[in-house]
Amino acid sequence: MNKKIIIYVLGWILNIEAVFMLPPCVVALIYKETSGIWFLAVAAVCGGIGFLCTRRKPTNMVFFAKEGFVSVALSWIVLSFFGALPFYISKEIPVFEDAMFEVISGFTTTGASILPDVESLSKCMLFWRSFTHWIGGMGVLVFILSILPLAGGYNMYIMKAESPGPSVGKLVPRVRTTAKILYGIYLFMTALEVVLLMIGGMSLFDSLTISFGTAGTGGFGIKNNSMAFYDSYYLQGIVTVFMILFGVNFNVYYLFLTRHPKDALFSEEARAYLGIIGVSILLITINIHRGFGSVFAAFHHAAFQVASIITTTGYSTVDFDLWPEFSKGILVVLMFIGACAGSTGGGIKVSRVVILLKAVKKELDTLIHPRSVKVLKLEGKPVEHQVMRSINTFLGAYIVIFIVSVLIVSMDNFDFTTNFTAIAATFNNIGPGLAGAGPAKNFSLFSTMSKYVMMFDMLAGRLEIFPMLLLFAPSTWKKN
Amino acid sequence: MKIIIVGCGKVGTTLAEQLNKEHHDIVIIDKNAGVVNSISERIDVMGVVGNGAVNKVQLDAGIEDTDLLIATTNSDELNMLCCLIAKKAGNCHTIARIRNPEYDSQISYIREELGLSLAINPEMAAAMEIARLLRFPSAIKIDTFAKGKKEILKFIVPDHSVLNNMKVRDVLVRLKCNVLICAIEHNAEVIIPGGDSVISSGDKISFIASPVESNEFFKQVGIDNNVIKTAMLVGGGKITYYVAKMLENTKIKVKILEQNAERCNELSELLPRAMVINGDASDQELLLQEGIGQTDAFASLTGFDEENIMLSLYAASQSKAKLITKINRIAFENVIDSMNLGSIIYPKLITAETILQYVRAMQNSMGSNVETLYKIVADRAEALEFKVVNEPCIVGIPLEKLELRDNLLVAYIMRNGRFISPRGKDTLEEGDRVIVVTTVTGLNDLKDILR
């Protein structure tokens, strides 16, 4: 294990975090809030430590998969720790684990909150809370890759560890250019949403924070009743569309931008994703239309909730905990499916689900025709054995962590729906679950231990499990 | 530049690694998904799995806006097809590895008809290097600069040489030879010497001089630069054939040892002037009988690295012959370097270097101005020839005032056909050619010599 290089990478994380803490300071200046000083203080500390760690490039730049996974996992923990400090020091979230929970929920783009009254926070804190979504959505290390000239091929390991999806492809030969393109698309789409929301009459602050939440598929609202506050079909519609857009694999946009719009339209994953969304909206609309004044209203709210859950954003316009069981059931299924690989969303990912379903079909075929040979394909390309294996292992680890988490949280003695959906909502980086963890409730009622379990789940969910598991595996830290 | 490399064997990988370091955008294509994955994990390149001669695969790799396609798969025909299709699809430069001796006679025809920018034959390239070494046995490595007017030579300082414990600044004064020592390899270390650097016996020294000067220098240093009259080549492969063919019209008498009787017949037919001996080269008696003790040069060119190493070590114990050892696999380079194997020939590295030189020259026409490039020590020291363009931050400023990088030496300035050994007061002028020696690899432009 090359510890020096990991410290070096962590140093850069702190440097970047220091820079990211400056926008909240600006917000504090604009709204004349004194709590902005805490951001400045923490930024100074981050910058100082970061400067010390990155002052000298380590001589040994050897960097393998192990170092990649460990530095990604550690980076997110360090990032969350320092990100939580402003909340904690300013006493706006007086309990440390609550502050930590809130920030991890932000960076991992979960959007689960422990705050009973969001509106009581100062503007700069609210801004930071939403801004963490935007930072965490595309990934901090990817951001670092896009701006820093870290020479050497090892950055592929970082990209692999941080980007969601079964197999990470590059758009162009260089990781750095790829990262730049991804952030370019991300930035552009965010800006577009801000503009469209402002056209609909939203204030700049609100549209910025809402857009951050949408872009990172996070879901921190800045009002107690989330998106229901903006009672306008236009505003909610815009957010719906953008949630769906941010849940699409960013490669598709790249293909659009370059010369292959045809390939983009034929992306199997994007089609499956849109298909699932369409069917879910249809079924839920039929199921709930009696409760709403018109079919259009039912369709609108169904669409918003479906988009919010499948992209793992977690905004809500209505309390879907009050919906019929069938609709709730669909939403829970969507929680697990999640968004596309290579998007900012969480969950198991559509491409994994597609591959798994194909594998099941293939297995059935081989039972009937034992000697038949069939190659699994996704996007017209054969799925390598390696990828198949990693998907199976991912699913195995996913189920184990899920079950253990539910068991631990059950000690708090809430009903099963609460426990189950609370873990589903945090592990898949969604935010609200059902019952006690529903959209109208918050996570403050859980015990400290449950909160820590959920913090782990959120990080594991965002980093696709293995980096976090490797971090705690003893063999990672042994010599040789 | 955007470059596609088809076929990721040793040459392909070496090229990908090196070209990536020189800031080119690389896409690799190989049929083997495992190879593609492992390379694109290690090096910052994009991988495409598939047959490189298939148009769709090339399109996936972005052939439309590619500047150069290099085909280094196992098959000559596939390489040619790759280049042909790439030429049509992307109108890019193409380089193919074509190694079958049967194509050799019509290589220029093939190049012309297929529109190849370069056709490289690894065995031929290696053989040329060997032939050059046989003509100049004292050096372990020779390259030429400035169209042959200057050479860069590498040799090992013998035990009782006057050079032992001599400071570099004294070399010129005491030996009265106008040579420029530009790199010293001491154990595993490579240094670009300053005036105070000390030479000790056993070091490998690279120096630049004109052919006359280097002869004189060798004489002074106490190395007899005997002309080789007889050479023994072990193994009757392609390289041996090319070497013997090249030496056919020289005074060097060639003796070839080959195990396979049929191949011996072929060789004897192809090389009427060479002596072909059918026998096992690991048979010591045979070697002694055929005069391993008296031969002037001994080259082990069999297909097995281990055998080549053993043979060379044995030859070293039996004679003072100039040794040449062919090594196919580029691994454990530092261990191999520490053994007394004479000049070591890595055909794959030579291939990669030739292609690299072409790429640099090509880039040269697109802006950067490296004219030629030589590796003194693989990956760790290079000599580069630049053409000076009007660059205000360099031109006209005395060298002592330029903030040059560490471990970098401006070796020669060539102005109007004359060579200047630069001193601190000298300046670089537009139109000059300048030779720079450095351990900083990947310089693209003369500006890069500045800190």
pLDDT digits (tens, 9 = 90+) for B411-443: 888 887 777 777 778 888 887 878 888 887 767
Bridge partners of B161, per DSSP, are none
Cβ-nearest to B42 among A153, A174, A384: A153
Burial class of residue B331, CB neighbours in 10 A (0-12, 13-18, 19+): exposed
pLDDT digits (tens, 9 = 90+) for B273-324: 889 999 888 888 888 888 888 888 999 999 898 899 999 999 988 888 889 9
Report the phi/psi class of residue B385: left, alpha or beta, with left for phi > 0 and alpha for psi in -120 to 50.
beta
Cβ-nearest to A174 among B25, B37, B41: B25
Beta carbons of B46 and A386 less than 8 Å apart = no
B369: pLDDT strictly greater than 60: yes
Q: Is the dihedral of CA B220, B221, B222, B224 positive or negative?
A: negative
Contacts with B41 from chain A: Cβ below 8 Å: 65, 153, 156-157, 160
Helix extents (H) in A348-415: 350-368, 385-410
Confidence of residue B18 (pLDDT cuts 50, 70, 90): confident
Contacts with A384 from chain B: Cβ below 8 Å: 33
The share of chain B scoring above pLDDT 70, in percent, equals 95
- Angle in degrees, 0-180, between the axes of helices B347-365 and B10-21, rounded to the nearest 10: 40
Q: Is A264 helix (H, G, I), strand (E, B) or coil?
A: helix
What confidence score (pLDDT) does residue B168 get? Answer: 79
Instruction: Output b/e per residue, B89-109; b: 16+ Cβ within 10 A.
Output: ebebbbbbbbbeeebbeeeee
Q: Is the dihedral of CA A186, A187, A188, A190 positive or negative?
A: positive
B172: pLDDT strictly greater than 90: no
Contact A16, A145 (CB under 8 A): no
Residue B322 host element (H or E): strand B322-326
Confidence of residue B364 (pLDDT cuts 50, 70, 90): low
Q: ipTM more than 0.85? A: no
Residue with tokens 């169904």: A302
* CA nearest neighbour of A300 among A235, A221, A391: A235
* CA nearest neighbour of B57 among B28, B80, B97: B28
Beta carbons of B41 and A384 less than 8 Å apart = no
**Could you tell me whether strands B198-199 and B166-167 are parallel, antiparallel, or unpaired per DSSP bridges?**
antiparallel
Average pLDDT per consecutive 10 residues, chain A (480 residues; last block may be shorter): 83 91 92 89 93 82 78 90 92 90 92 87 91 89 72 65 70 80 91 94 91 90 85 91 91 81 80 94 91 88 93 89 91 91 87 91 90 83 83 92 94 91 92 85 89 93 88 80
Residue with tokens 């309990």: A95
What confidence score (pLDDT) does residue A209 get? Answer: 92
Report the C-alpha gap between B104 and A295 in whole angstroms: 78
What confidence score (pLDDT) does residue B225 get? Answer: 62
Q: Does A173 touch chain B (CB under 8 A)?
A: yes
Report the C-alpha gap between B414 and B428 in whole angstroms: 10
Q: Is B407 helix (H, G, I), strand (E, B) or coil?
A: coil
What's the gap in Å between the CA of A65 and the closest CA on chain B? 9
pLDDT digits (tens, 9 = 90+) for B376-418: 776 677 788 787 877 777 788 888 787 888 778 888 888 877 7
Locate the chain B residue with the closest alpha carbon to A173. Answer: B46
Beta carbons of A173 and B33 less than 8 Å apart = no
What's the distance, CA B12 to chain centroid?
Answer: 16
Which residues, at least 6 apart from B150, have a Cβ–Cβ distance to it below 8 Å?
Answer: B144, B208, B209, B210, B412, B419, B435
Q: How many residues make up chain A in this entry?
A: 480
pLDDT digits (tens, 9 = 90+) for B112-163: 888 888 888 888 888 888 887 887 777 777 777 666 677 788 888 877 777 7
B367: pLDDT strictly greater than 60: no
Cβ-nearest to A153 among B2, B37, B43: B43
Beta carbons of A173 and B37 less than 8 Å apart = no
Report the C-alpha gap between B360 and B371 in whole angstroms: 7
Contact A128, A86 (CB under 8 A): yes
Backbone angles phi, psi at B228, to 5 degrees: -85, 130
Q: pTM surpassing 0.80?
A: no
**Could you tell me whether strands B46-49 and B150-156 are parallel, antiparallel, or unpaired per DSSP bridges?**
unpaired
Give the residue-averaged pLDDT of B322-332: 84
pLDDT digits (tens, 9 = 90+) for B208-221: 887 777 777 877 77
Residue with tokens 């079958």: B100
Contacts with A177 from chain B: Cβ below 8 Å: 25
First to last CA, chain B: 24
Locate the chain A residue with the closest alpha carbon to B64. Answer: A259
Structure-block tokens of residue A133: 């979504």
Instruction: Output b/e per residue, A352-386; b: 16+ Cβ within 10 A.
Output: bbbbbebeeeeeeeeeeeeeeeeebebbeeebbee
Backbone angles phi, psi at B317, to 5 degrees: -75, -20
Give the residue-averaged pLDDT of B326-338: 80
Report the phi/psi class of residue B49: left, alpha or beta, with left for phi > 0 and alpha for psi in -120 to 50.
beta
Report the C-alpha gap between B256 and B163 in whole angstroms: 37
Contact B71, B118 (CB under 8 A): no
Locate the chain B residue with the closest alpha carbon to A64. Answer: B42
Structure-block tokens of residue B192: 């670009």
